Amino acid sequence: MRAISWLPRSVKAEEPRKNVPRVLVSPGGRVPYFTTSLSAGRKAARSTLGKTTATGIGRPVAEYLQTILPFWLAYLVAALVHATLLIVLSLASGVIFVWGERKVAGRIQDRLGPTRVGGRYGWLQTIADGIKLLTKEDLRPKGADSFLFRIAPYVGWGASYAAFIALPFANGWVAQRMNVAVFFILAVLGLEVFGVILAGYASGSKWSLFGAMREAAQVVSYEVPLGMCVIVPVMIAGTMDLTTIANMQQGWFFNWFVFHDIFTFLLFGVYFTCATAGVNRAPFDLAEAESELVAGFHTEYSGFRWLFFFVAEYGSMFMVSGLAALLFFGGWNGPIPVTAFWPDHPAMNYLANFLGMLNFVFKCTFGVVVMMWVRWTLPRVRIDQVITTCLKYCTPLAAVLFLGATLWTFAFPGGITGMRQVPYGMVREQYKPAEVRAAEDHVAGHPAAESDLAVAGQHRSPR
């Protein structure tokens, strides 16, 4: 009950000190605030590049460059470094996944897939394809709207690429740490559909137009259940910051949100379905139904532009898989908290973060592979079945599970283990008046949890 009195409106700045409780109690009344997450925060602080990790990887690089460059130049260089990394990542992932898909498809269809190019695994196959595509003639239909026809692939690719800005690869290893990262990623991924639509329209071919319209209908309608699925982990964590969400699942695998309760477990299935549809992968790839529409929206495309569509598609697949990993599978926090037992040394911490990144990339790749698996296993569904799946099954299911998860988190704020961050805890924590915070820190004997948020009108320094 006392904890309720910490709702911001009830706080009076002139409140005497004796009213400040020693230990804050969660609404469920079991778990003291931040006991686990504070320790987690300290471990995280130790196990990464020191104090400023939480503000993103851009900050330390820029601060290092500042010592030799004026700050604007330093920031420019830092930004370019990140951009290059991400572009390389997305293109490389595209290349690798094209090859991977071929191999997976071959294996599933009891073939070998590419075997010749670049040794016995044909791992240079995609490179060869890329060269072929680059050297192909750039066709442009006569009835096409040339401007849109030309610009459409870049729009799609730009959207899927922009989503990487907010995607953390490890604790603090993120191009731009955002407070609304989940939301941002969803929004930007939603932009990808524009490329498809414009391509379909600009091609001046009715197959393309059909594909585009299918795509538009499908994506717009699937954004609804997708958003609802994403909301649940956000609600449990109390924040939309992906880094924080991942950090909250620190520790053993049962800390993952997918195991938070039965509802989230089921919810992951819904999320995966919606994500598959959202990036129009099989069995929801109506936009490029080669059996009905020749090749859907990219019927008229060839060469490099066509390549961009591919890259964008694999980029977004990687993106939704990464989102799944972050929201449900603990991000870089593996099933076994190996790095938590390492000695606290900068080099070891860096290594731990690197391992976390590999862990995360592995999870993303696994998700992509599962998508391929699904593609080569399931037949394509009809458009009306697509819409039915979305509106009649996914949306109600997501709503019900959302409700269940909410009630569950209220009933067991600590989760099954009782050792997890309570919902909304961070919110209440961050908006305590400054002097109350200080009092708590004094009592608890340790400084307040590092937070970038500040009471309006005054900025609190990170220690």
The residue with tokens 């039965």 is 262
Q: Minimal distance in Å, beta carbon 166 to another protein?
A: 10
- The answer to whether 226 touches 273, Cβ cutoff 8 Å, is no
- Part in contact with another protein (CB under 8 A); list of ranges 188-196, 244-252, 256-264, 336-344: 188-196
Task: Tokens 């819904």: give the residue.
Answer: 270
Exactly one of 64, 362, 393, 410 binds another protein (CB under 8 A); that residue is 64
Applying CB under 8 A, which part among 50-58, 129-137, 310-318, 331-339 lies near another protein? 50-58
With contacts defined by CB under 8 A, name the span among 110-118, 172-180, 367-375, 442-450 that binds another protein. 172-180
CB-based contact 367:324 (threshold 8 Å): yes
- Regarding 223 and contact with another protein (CB under 8 A), the answer is yes
Is residue 179 a contact point for another protein (CB under 8 A)? yes
Q: Which range in 61-69, 98-106, 352-360, 409-417 contacts another protein by CB under 8 A?
A: 61-69
- The yes or no reply on residue 411 touching another protein (CB under 8 A) is no
Q: Give 98 or 163: the residue with its C-beta nearer to another protein.
A: 163
Token pair belonging to 86: 């991400």
- Report if residue 406 touches another protein, rule: CB under 8 A: no
Instruction: Give the residue among 289, 285, 270, 281 at the shortest CA–CA distance from 316.
Output: 281
Spatial distance between the Cα atoms of 229 and 269, rounded to a whole number of angstroms: 10
Site for another protein in 239-298 (CB under 8 A): 239-240
- With beta carbons less than 8 A apart as the criterion, state whether 369 and 104 touch: yes
Site stretch for another protein (CB under 8 A), options 10-18, 27-35, 279-287, 304-312: 10-18
Using CB atoms within 10 Å of the CB of residue 39, give its burial: 0 to 12 exposed, 13 to 18 middle, 19+ buried.
Answer: middle
Nearer to another protein, 59 or 380 (CB): 59
Report residue 208 as tokens: 């393309």
Site for another protein in 426-445 (CB under 8 A): 427, 430-431, 433
Give me the least distance between CB of 199 and another protein, in Å please.
Answer: 11
Contact letters for another protein, residues 126-145 (x by CB under 8 A): -------------------x
Instruction: Kindly list the distances between the CA atom of residue 126 and the CA atoms of 22, 362, 379, in Å, as whole numbers in the listed order.
Output: 62, 20, 25
Whether the Cβ atoms of residue 289 and residue 211 lie closer than 8 Å to each other: yes
Q: Calculate the CA dihedral of residues 283, 288, 290, 294 and round it to 10 degrees.
A: 160
Phi, psi of 56 (to 5 degrees): 105, 160
CB 329 within 8 A of CB 247: no
Give the x-and-dash track for 67-96 against another protein (CB under 8 A): xxxxxxx-xx--x-----------------
Contact 156, 315 (CB under 8 A): no
**Does residue 235 belong to the site contacting another protein (CB under 8 A)?**
no
Query: Which region among 86-94, 209-217, 246-254, 414-422 touches another protein (by CB under 8 A)?
Result: 209-217
Give the separation between CA 107 and CA 376, rounded to whole angstroms.
Answer: 10
**Site stretch for another protein (CB under 8 A), options 23-31, 36-44, 119-127, 174-182:** 174-182
Cβ atoms within 10 Å, residue 116: 11
- Which residue in 2, 4, 5, 7 binds another protein (CB under 8 A)? 7
218 near 287, Cβ under 8 Å? yes
Angle at 31 between CA 28 and CA 34, to 5 degrees: 120
Residues at the contact surface with another protein, assessed by CB under 8 A: 7-9, 11, 13-14, 52, 55-56, 59, 63-64, 66-73, 75-76, 79, 145, 147-148, 151, 176-180, 183-184, 186-188, 190-191, 193-194, 197-198, 201-202, 209, 212-213, 216-217, 219-220, 223, 239-240, 427, 430-431, 433, 452-459, 461-462
